Amino acid sequence: MGEGQIAAARCFSGASLSFELFPYRSRMTTANAAGGITDSAAAATAIATGRKVSNQVLSLAVPGDGAELETLLEACQRQGKATGLITTCYLTDATPAAFAAHAANRFADAGAIAWQYLNRTRPDVLLGAGATGLDDQSAAAAGYSVVTDRAALQAAVPADGMKLCGVFGWGYLPYESDGLGTLPSLAEMTAQALTVLERAPQGFFLMLEGGKIDLASHGNDIVRVIGETLGFDAAVRAVLRWAQGREGDTLVLVLADHETGGLNVLGDNGPGNVPEVAWSSGNHTESPVTLYGWGATAHLVPRVRDNTQIRAITLTPAPAPGAGIGIARAVSGQAVTSWSTVSGATYRVECAADLKAPVWQTLATLNALSARMTFVDTNATARGHGFYRLRQP
């Protein structure tokens, strides 16, 4: 999902996609360990582990000693968090596999990937299509509550300690623009996964993938690209509905592992109409992709320049209430400060000329409307310099 896929979906919908409105973004590179065009295994491994690897490798130090690299999912499990993987492709496909398995070859070791899911990492939620050793029987034998269609998924009653596996067809879910029949959409899978994972007392990690954006792009199929991108955006909207008011303890990142097809939008034909586009390839490209961030540590997103940096900002602890998370100078010279807050709490913004013998002057007393608060110091230009802090009266 590169800029072309996003632009095409925007043209068709007639409005910005939900994640385009996130407050933070950056552009990042996606090359594999050799500096060449990545495949999904190497790209997902870079995101999950912070290390570059060779194409087809899943979370192993290759090149290197071949040792297992701890993934984001495994790191979150070590912290006591619940975990989940969702995809519109088969569950053992490269992107989810890089988060919950280790293999030298994403294709040859697919059966071993399924075994690691069910017997080793055991994510609390697994939703996608079956294949290569992961089917409803094997998941049930491993202690998962198994569902195979939309109705059963939506009827599943979340419970403490529940492990839920949805096996929806075989290989890939249908394209959303072709109709899903009795199978769930990515947004429906996401909403139900959140009802299971939100019960975890230490929080959770969820990776959800609109994997068929890539498949449609390989075929230069713009209609299906638009349908899958809008379906992915609907899943992001489901996440944002759940996370509303939780900017202080929840981080939402939207990104692509790579761009496929070299898609460019040449003309916007208006809402409801497919835009005029051009493709330069049927394969992955080296085009940088955009990272979008919302929530707890999203202020770190503008620092990201490569996909190996995703892991670090994901594992960075959220700032405590009252902590400063950003300061900038407006065009007018005013100082713009951002703070982590508790929604509904009252805070006092203070300023001092120096920190040697500070005399703190109250600039404003404000009520926080959410977990983030921004204050503009209209006298900053006259002061020239100063230090700020946020205090509760």
Distance CA 124, CA 275 (A): 40
> What percentage of the chain exceeds 70 in pLDDT?
100
Strands 251-254 and 204-209: unpaired
The amino acid occupying position 50 is G
Confidence at residue 256, expressed as pLDDT on a 0 to 100 scale:
98
Mean pLDDT across the chain, nearest whole number?
95
Q: Given pLDDT bands bounded at 50, 70 and 90, which one contains residue 371?
A: confident
Domains of the chain: 3-315 (3.40.720.10), 324-391 (2.60.40)
Question: pLDDT tens-digit profile of 259-288?
Answer: 999 999 999 999 999 999 999 999 999 999
Q: In what order do the strands lie in the sheet with 361-367?
A: 361-367, 346-352, 387-391
Span 3-31, average pLDDT: 98
Give the model's pLDDT for residue 378. 87
From edge to edge, which strands make up the β-sheet containing 324-329? 324-329, 335-340, 372-377
Non-local (6+) Cβ contacts of 140 within 8 A are: 146, 165
Which pLDDT score, from 0 to 100, does residue 178 have? 96
- Taking a C-beta distance cutoff of 8 angstroms, is the pair 87, 130 a contact? no
What letter does residue 172 receive in the DSSP assignment?
B
Active-site residue, from 18, 40, 54, 138: 40
pTM of the prediction? 0.91
What was the pLDDT predicted at 380? 78
The whole-number pLDDT of residue 222 equals 98
pLDDT of amino acid 355:
92
Determine the Cα–Cα distance for residues 240 and 364; give it in Å rounded to an integer.
31
Distances (CA, A) of 164 to 77, 80, 180, 198: 16, 18, 21, 13
Q: Of 27, 65, 73, which is closest to residue 47 (Cα–Cα)?
A: 73
Q: Which of 34-48, 218-232, 329-343 has the lowest mean pLDDT?
A: 329-343
Q: List the one residue out of 59, 62, 56, 31 whose CA is nearest residue 45.
A: 59
DSSP 184-240: PPHHHHHHHHHHHHTT-TT-EEEEEE-THHHHHHHTT-HHHHHHHHHHHHHHHHHHH
Q: Which residue has the higher pLDDT, 138 or 132?
A: 138
pLDDT confidence band for 370 (50 / 70 / 90):
confident
Active-site annotation holds for 40:
yes
Residue 332 Ramachandran class (φ > 0 left, ψ -120 to 50 alpha, else beta) = alpha
